[in-house]
Structure 1
């Protein structure tokens, strides 16, 4: 899966992306609401190797994509099929230094459009820690609606947390012409 938006290139990760991606995931604030802790010098190569392996969106697997602006990886998009027919879940993380420029919204919106255009998905969803206000706002900005609020349903990093599920149907997404 590869596409571009007005300002961004979205593509599979390459070996040369290690430093940029590590900068994203070695930041504790970025990882606060993720399912894993911040990367360390000891774990970054192993964690990054997994991103290099996830190149194809297919049932039972997932795809990890680099969000590139001016030659620099500023974000990470992920997508995987759920157990429900033609339903894909997405995830995303972005470098805090790229915040405030609309890059996350542009990248995630592009991903939604690509999933509909290239894969014909019926439904796209995102599950997030309810405390992650930025992620909630991003889902809303790209046209996803909050469909569920689960109370203390997920045990993560030593505590029970609430989660939100956001969703959008493929036929609700206006597919752009960017290739």
Structure 2
């Protein structure tokens, strides 16, 4: 899957993206609310290899997409099917430098539209750390609704954290 938005190219990752992606995932602030720890020089090749391999969305395989501005990868979009029929979950991570410029909103809303129109999914959801206010605002900007707030339901990086579930149906786009 490859597509363009007004300012961005969204495409599968390629070998040349390693340094840009490492820059994103080696940042403490960026990784604070992610499930995984920040990347290190020792594990970056292994972590990046997963993104290269996840280049087609199937029921068995998640999809990882690079968000490119100019020639630089500024973000990462992920999509995977859940166990529920025709339901996908999305995830996204953007570099600190891309923050506040509308790139995440542009990329994620375009992805959501593609998932509904081309993949004919019934429902899209996002599960996030409740402390991640920027991610909550992004979900709301693209038309997702907050559906659940779970109290201390997830053990992450040495502490119990709350999680929030956002969701949307294709009818929410109208």
| CA positional deviation for 1:56 | 1.0
Whether 2:45 is the aligned partner of 1:45: answer: yes
Q: Distance in 2 between matches of 1:171 and 1:60?
A: 26
Q: Distance in 1 between matches of 2:77 and 2:132?
A: 17
Correspondence for 2:8: 8
Structure 2: which 5+ residue stretches go unaligned? none
The CA deviation string for residues 140-168 of structure 1, in whole angstroms up to 9 with x for no partner, is 01110000000011111111110000001
Q: Distance in 1 between matches of 2:101 and 2:30?
A: 17
Aligned length: 174
Residue 97 of structure 1 aligns to a residue in which SS?
Answer: helix
Q: Distance in 1 between matches of 2:165 and 2:4?
A: 27
Q: Distance in 1 between matches of 2:8 and 2:130?
A: 28
8 A contact 1:122–1:171 mirrored in 2: no
Correspondence for 1:132: 132
8 A contact 1:5–1:110 mirrored in 2: yes
Superposed CA RMSD: 0.7
8 A contact 1:3–1:114 mirrored in 2: no
Structure 1: which 5+ residue stretches go unaligned? 175-179
Correspondence for 1:73: 73
Output the TM-score relative to the length of structure 1: 0.95
| CA positional deviation for 1:3 | 1.2
Correspondence for 1:32: 32
Q: Distance in 2 between matches of 1:171 and 1:14?
A: 34
Correspondence for 1:177: none
Whether 2:147 is the aligned partner of 1:147: answer: yes
Output the TM-score relative to the length of structure 2: 0.98
Correspondence for 1:112: 112
Q: Distance in 1 between matches of 2:56 and 2:7?
A: 23
The CA deviation string for residues 90-125 of structure 1, in whole angstroms up to 9 with x for no partner, is 000000011111000000000000101110111000
The CA deviation string for residues 56-98 of structure 1, in whole angstroms up to 9 with x for no partner, is 1111210000000111100000000000011000000000011
| CA positional deviation for 1:129 | 0.2
Whether 2:51 is the aligned partner of 1:63: answer: no
